[in-house]
Amino acid sequence: MPLMNNLNKRIAIIGSGISGLAAAYRLINLNPSLQVRVFEANHYPGGAIQTVERDGFLIERGADSFITNIPWAKNLCQQLGFENQLMSTNKEFRGAYVVRRGRLHKIPAGFQLMATPRVWPIITTRLLSSVGKLRLVCERFLPPKQDPDDESLADFASRRLGRETYERLVEPLVGGIYTSDARKLSIAATLPQFMKMEQQWGNLTRGMHEKSKADGSEPDRGARYDLFVAPRRGMQSLVQAIVAQLPNKSLRLDTSVERIEPTNDGRWKIFFANREPTEYFDGVIAAVPTYRTATLLATVHSELSEALTGIEYASSVVVSLGVPRNSIAHPLDGFGLVVPAVEKRSILAASFSSVKFPERAPENMALIRVFMGGALRPELVDRDNQEITALAIDEMRDLIRLRGEPIICDLTRWPAAMPQYHVGHIERVGRIKHFVKTLDRFEIAGSAYDGVGVPHSIHSGEQAADRLVDALTP
């Protein structure tokens, strides 16, 4: 990409989540003469990435890791000189559990979100009934769907694998990633690889085998826990590493942008909610949730604002419990557990953080993160802290046989934080991007468009920066 000839252009980035910070870092690397300003309404950068240390526990309140076979987060770490701070998951206990009738059962070996190339682990699992197992094994004999239209993840999985496998395996594994209602979740926007397998190979079983041949992996390997990494001192240390590379005074915390307006000379006027005067910029990147971007643009582009509002969000709560290891009867020989919606429990999942990564808890202690709320249990988010914490502890008493009281409890609410990729999401995002192109020197970035993980969010910010530089380059 050519560097810009015109110097001292001013760029505003609204939002200092990982997308906004990645955009800022990209801009200053493309042209150090750019005057980049990142406006953040909160008193800290990082958005949904937060790490705290309490009494020897390293607690992630949001994302705790990222995957490396999607390259953008790993590439950014390399650019920052941060790669030596990354560590892999614990090799000894890779695996996870699913709850069935109040008991924990290991996910069948080789099962990857929605498919498995192996029959024996399915036959021996206690997660499925005999009828459910037979229906799953028959997947390889079912014809592919003829029309290319998007469908819900629930419809796709039930059609290919059977209702029981969907409810007992697919829904808790995938629904937990998106804190969503799988009956509304778009298969095309969330797991398009399985849709492509069906179309290309006729069924998911053969598709898994062919994929393994193509990438040289073992077909029965199952979930690739070895691909996940985390910074030794927590995800917020990555945020700090990016901020440290930004020019002095480019990050402005406690600064809420109220609205923006284009000017007659091709610039953008920024109005702030808590201070005067307004400021002028040559380009803007909105890296905030879509409902915030919609508000910013309400008087600028009503159709774009309406399309942005069409993306729904779910709320959740994370309760971290620090407990003596000997107060848990379960062996904790896995990275956590997921709970099917049909179990009708108060939690979505639990992560055994101190098992997953080292140095997350003091010696002889365990750190458990419990996830609640989401699209299926939104009412839980509105309960008071004491009640939510009590529910989390009670669930752990039942599922991993926790005794006594936690040494520490840390509760974090994430209101309207997780975008929901409902059926039609790809078309909806296409309309949004079409409208954005009609605005000069304005770009969008974030997890609401093309992927919810940390790597996709970073890539979204970098792409927005690239497009804006292109627009500003003579």
pLDDT tens digits, 220-234: 454 577 899 999 999
Residue with tokens 């101190």: 354
Residue 330 amino acid letter: H
Co-location of 153 and 289 in the same domain: no
Length of the chain: 474
Residue 351 lies in a domain: yes
Q: How many CB atoms lie within 10 A of CB 42?
A: 14
Contact of 3 with 466, CB cutoff 8 Å: no
Residue 105 lies in a domain: no
User: CA dihedral in degrees (21, 24, 30, 34; nearest 10)?
Assistant: -160
Nearest to 336 by CA among 315, 362, 367, 363: 367
Co-location of 262 and 345 in the same domain: no
Residue 4 lies in a domain: no
| pLDDT tens for each residue of the chain, 474 residues long | 444 455 689 999 999 999 999 999 999 999 999 999 999 999 999 999 999 999 999 999 999 999 999 999 999 999 999 999 999 999 998 889 999 999 999 999 888 888 877 788 889 999 999 999 999 999 999 999 988 899 999 999 999 999 999 999 999 998 778 999 999 999 999 999 999 999 999 999 898 888 777 766 555 454 577 899 999 999 999 999 999 999 999 999 999 999 999 999 999 999 999 777 899 999 999 999 999 999 999 999 999 999 999 999 999 999 999 999 999 999 999 999 999 999 999 999 999 999 999 999 999 999 999 999 999 999 999 999 999 999 999 999 999 999 999 999 999 999 999 999 999 999 999 999 999 999 999 999 999 999 999 999 999 999 999 999 999 987
**Collapsing DSSP states into helix, strand and coil, what is residue 48?**
coil
**Collapsing DSSP states into helix, strand and coil, what is residue 369?**
strand
Co-location of 213 and 344 in the same domain: no
Residue 305 lies in a domain: yes
CATH of the domain at 42: 3.50.50.60
Please say which residue of 217, 244, 274 terminates a domain: 217
Distances (CA, A) of 289 to 10, 13, 96: 23, 13, 31
Distance CA 354, CA 57 (A): 9
Co-location of 297 and 327 in the same domain: no
> Residue 187's domain spans which residues?
110-217
Co-location of 201 and 245 in the same domain: no
Please say which residue of 374, 397, 419 terminates a domain: 419
Q: What is the mean pLDDT of the chain?
A: 94
Contact of 200 with 44, CB cutoff 8 Å: no
pLDDT tens digits, 370-396: 999 999 999 999 999 999 999 999 999
Residue 226 lies in a domain: no
Rg (CA), the chain: 23
Please say which residue of 217, 252, 275 terminates a domain: 217
* 132: Cα separation from own chain's centroid: 30
Co-location of 212 and 253 in the same domain: no
Co-location of 164 and 213 in the same domain: yes
Note the pTM of the prediction, 2 decimals.
0.95
Co-location of 304 and 434 in the same domain: yes
Co-location of 85 and 114 in the same domain: no
Co-location of 318 and 305 in the same domain: no
Q: Which of the 8 DSSP states describes residue 28?
A: H
Co-location of 131 and 202 in the same domain: yes
Residue with tokens 């990142």: 38
The helix or strand, by DSSP H or E, that contains position 247, with its residue range, turns out to be: none
Percent of the chain with pLDDT over 90: 86
Distance CA 297, CA 238 (A): 31
Residue 98 lies in a domain: no
Residue with tokens 């020197």: 441
Distance CA 204, CA 223 (A): 16
Residue with tokens 């379960």: 330
Nearest to 111 by CA among 161, 76, 70, 39: 161
Residue 252 lies in a domain: yes
Residue 224 lies in a domain: no
CATH of the domain at 333: 3.90.660.20
Distance CA 113, CA 171 (A): 9
Contact of 224 with 215, CB cutoff 8 Å: no
Q: Per the structure, how many domains does the chain have?
A: 3
